[in-house]
Chain A
Amino acid sequence: MLFGTGLAALAVTGDADADTAQAPQAMPPQAGDLLVQATGPQAGQPIGLPLFKTPNTLIQAWAKDPTSGVVRNGSRLNRVLLVKIDTAAMDDATRKRSAEGVVAYSDFCTHAGCWIETYHADNGVILCHCHGSAFDPTHGANVTGGPARAPLASLSLKIVDSHLVAAGPFDGRLGIPQT
């Protein structure tokens, strides 16, 4: 505020993002992208329903351009989380975005940018380990606890050849809301 408003605009920051913003690797998931595992021994492999082995399974994924083979892991914002939940518990918008009970959201916590690794099926929350933000996957990943102030962006899914594929881009704001 005051004089500082002008100064804030002058503040030098990491400008590297601008250079890579349009690179295919840095682009967020696109409609038709295949989702592949981001972590673990099967990293890079496509994701089918059998991978949801337990009610608590949360799979972290990157989007992969099926034509070029580019994996869109050039920005931490692009990582996707997948959980399989009861379709009957979903609101209409969530159900419309889901595929065979699997829902997809941004894996980038809207509180402080940690990647989310935990789903607790018994109380129905996606939980960020960093600071305890909790999100409801049945209702658009709305915040149900902790310091986050915004829901996770949603990603519509479809199944192609038994594998999960993005049906559109992220719906909702990616990243941490600016104060």
Chain B
Amino acid sequence: MFRRSLFMTAAFAACVAHSARAELATTPAYSNVTQPRLDKPEPQNWLMPRGTYNGWGYSPLNQVTSDNVKRLVPVWSLSTGVVDAHQAPAIVNNGIMFVSTPQNHILAINAKTGDVIWKYERKLPADMQQLHPTNRGVALLGDKVYMATMDSCVVALSATTGKLAWNRCIADWHQGYYMTLAPMAVKDKIVVGVSGGELGIRGFIDALDAETGKEDWKFYTVAAPGETGGNTWKGDSWKTGGVPIWMQGNYDPASDMLYFGTGNGGPWMPDTRPGDNLFSTSAIALNASTGKLKGYHQYHWNDAWDWDEVSAPLLIDVKKNGRNVHELVHAGRDGYLWEMERTPAGKISFVSGQPFVHQDVFKSLDPSTGRPTYNADKVPGTNKKALFCPSLWGGKDWPMEAYNPQTKLLYVPANDNLCAEITGEPLGPREAGSLYVGVPIDDIFSSMRPRPGVDPTKPMKIGQLQAWNLATGKKVWTHDFIDSATWGPVLTTGGNLVFTGGTNDRMFRAFDATTGEMKWQTRLNSGVEGTPSSFMIDGVQYIAVQSGYGVDAERQNNGLKKMLKPRLDHDTVPNEGTVWVFALLDAKTANTAN
């Protein structure tokens, strides 16, 4: 009741500010987000970036199906007023939607009507650099909304008014630290991690008290001398070793274990930091209460290719040879599909690894540990040129896979047939906040090459949506995108559907989850990098996604424009951000029928 009255106060104030918007009075009361709700979210809600802690990106809602999705239409849209990569999902709690945008804005919206309830705009330092101007979502806990900001702070806002509850800065942006990830709400903590791997930072994950912002624990992703893994760095290289945390983790409530994917070591050239460089390019298991490392699996050691293993592994139970294996599954930027086994104590063991795109770097995998050996001529270094596949952006970059427990298929947004050629240069002294990469900038942005043997003068298969049966280890279907990479996170639903955008033609698409047949597509105002989500209000299922193009999708597409010239010369992808919400044309009828 108290919370309801709080919300009504906000609504009243809004009406005073703009009395014509009487519909605000219909905005539902706010339901506090509790740990049991996060452990098992209601089907009608989308309380975290992937819907559930296991990272599946799965909604059990089934009003929209592969049979009726052709009747999907926009019911409202909202310009965010911001440009660049809008990668965040629409987070929805009983009819209230929270969307974050580049420049660290948050919009609280009536999810049914599209009315703006409140808006928060972070005032970022005027002289700050934004290497990746994006934000990947908010966290909800209790009566608050949490966002990690570009200037390395975490803000807690009242979910009902947008008023700031606390602001905690966890690193100095002048030193190259910034944050793009969605915070994780776990029990009484808000867990975040830092970016800045190209700027000479030392990566870490921080857990803050959700009520006060005070630091509970910190885990450095670059091991220091004397720590576990500290002997995998030489000299002082650990101090600028990178290993950023670009994305939110996943979580197993039963074992209280957090799982994150970690970025590559910095600077880029492996000879500048000889050793395995733990815990770079790894899956790591941390006890959520203490932040203690409980296990890890390094996908590849001493990275040379900018293959951040950005997204966290998905928690999936897979029947293998009659045994139910509690797996961690990750489609890597290194182009391999990794399956690992996890235990309640946090130990991570290698199960299998196989390429899901053309990959010419790994010569072999150790059958028991999964440790790869490398083709030496595919490893660039300082003053050493190498051509390798996949490209710097990898077989799958940050956009997240999805898993559907009905089809038992894993859906992977992949990019194939692209390679890269780079040469390292001697490093100068590090300047705080400046690039500390060791590869000439021009080389990086002219690095992309077609896979040897692929003719770029002809329509080229690049982006793919792949479906994998984890039990058999076989790919079941592939949908190819021609002359475009894909940068679309994936949503799958109980309606036997897979939704994703990500291509340079601005399409948002739905596929039959079983067969891969494209069932629906619509062209939006901008490229679609947003994380799709689904929710239900008053018996109507909605699909939400943000459009808004930029950052690495745009960088890579600029490279494609050169490679595929002149085919993409006249294709422009605007940058303006918009929140889109779709439902069936006659959703109520469809609901009755279902």
Residues in chain A within 8 A of chain B (CB atoms): 1-8, 10-14, 16-17, 39-41, 75-78, 108, 111-115, 117-118, 129-132, 146-147, 149, 175-176, 179
Contact = CB atoms under 8 A, between A and B. Distances in A.
Interface of B: 10, 13-14, 17-18, 21, 81-84, 103, 107-108, 116-131, 133, 151, 153, 155, 161-164, 167, 169, 428, 431, 433-435, 441-442, 444-445, 550-551, 554-555, 558, 575
A175 B123 CA distance: 14
Given A7-B118, A14-B124, A147-B83, A179 B14 contact: no
B83 A5 contact: no
B118 A75 contact: no
7 contacts: A2-B14, A76-B127, A77-B127, A78-B127, A114-B130, A146-B558, A147-B84
Contact of A75 (B10, B14, B108, B127): B127
Contacts of A108: 127
A10 B155 CA distance: 13
B116 A2 contact: yes
A113 B129 contact: yes
A118 B127 CA distance: 20
A75 B162 CA distance: 31
Nearest to A15: B123
Contacts of B153: 14
Contact of B120 (A4, A77, A111): A4
Contacts of B124: 13-14
A3 B14 contact: yes
A12 B167 contact: yes
Contact of A7 (B82, B120, B558): B120
A139 to B, nearest CB: 22
B554 A11 contact: no
A113 B116 contact: no
Given A13-B123, A115-B434, A147-B575, A132 B130 contact: no
Contacts of A6: 13, 17
Given A112-B129, A117-B441, A179-B82, A14 B151 contact: yes
Contact of B155 (A12, A75, A76): A12
B21 A2 contact: yes
A111 B554 CA distance: 13
Given A115-B434, A179-B82, A11 B14 contact: no
Contacts of B169: 14
B119 A4 contact: yes
A175 B125 CA distance: 10
Given A39-B434, A75-B127, 19 more contacts: A2-B17, A2-B18, A2-B119, A3-B13, A4-B116, A7-B119, A7-B120, A7-B163, A11-B120, A11-B121, A11-B123, A13-B123, A75-B126, A112-B129, A130-B129, A130-B130, A130-B131, A131-B550, A132-B555
A127 to B, nearest CB: 8
Ranked 5 nearest A-B pairs via Cβ: A4-B119, A13-B123, A3-B14, A76-B127, A129-B441
Contact of A132 (B10, B127, B167, B558): B558
Contacts of B81: 179
A4 B121 CA distance: 9
Contacts of A129: 435, 441-442, 444-445
Contacts of A175: 126-127
A17 B550 CA distance: 28
Given A2-B116, A113-B129, A118 B121 contact: no
A118 B444 CA distance: 12
Given A75-B127, A76-B127, A147-B83, A8 B121 contact: yes
Most chain A beta-carbon contacts within 10 A, residue among B103, B125, B155: B125
Nearest to B557: A132
A175 B328 CA distance: 44
Contacts of B122: 11, 13
Contacts of A113: 127-130
A2 B78 CA distance: 14
Contact of A112 (B18, B119, B125, B131): B131
Contacts of B167: 12
Nearest to A132: B558
A2 B19 CA distance: 9
A149 B444 CA distance: 24
B136 to A, nearest CB: 16
B163 A76 contact: no
A111 B124 CA distance: 14
B15 to A, nearest CB: 9
B117 A3 contact: yes
B129 A8 contact: no
Nearest to B12: A3
A37 B433 CA distance: 17
B127 A39 contact: no
A121 to B, nearest CB: 13
Given A2-B18, A129-B445, A132-B558, A7 B161 contact: yes
Contact of B554 (A3, A8, A75, A132): A132
Contact of B118 (A3, A112, A146, A147): A3
Contacts of A147: 83-84, 550, 554, 575
Contacts of A117: 441
B534 to A, nearest CB: 26
A44 to B, nearest CB: 13
Most chain B beta-carbon contacts within 10 A, residue among A17, A40, A112, A114: A112
Contacts of A10: 163-164
A75 B128 CA distance: 9
Contact of A17 (B108, B126, B133, B431): B126
A78 B126 CA distance: 11
A167 B167 CA distance: 42
A113 B130 CA distance: 6
Nearest to A16: B125
Contacts of B554: 131-132, 147
A32 B114 CA distance: 54
Given A11-B122, A147-B83, A5 B17 contact: yes
Nearest to A4: B119
A12 to B, nearest CB: 5
A12 B122 CA distance: 7
Given A11-B121, A117-B441, A131-B550, A4 B431 contact: no
Contacts of A76: 127-129, 433
Contacts of B164: 10-12
Contacts of B10: 3
B125 A17 contact: yes
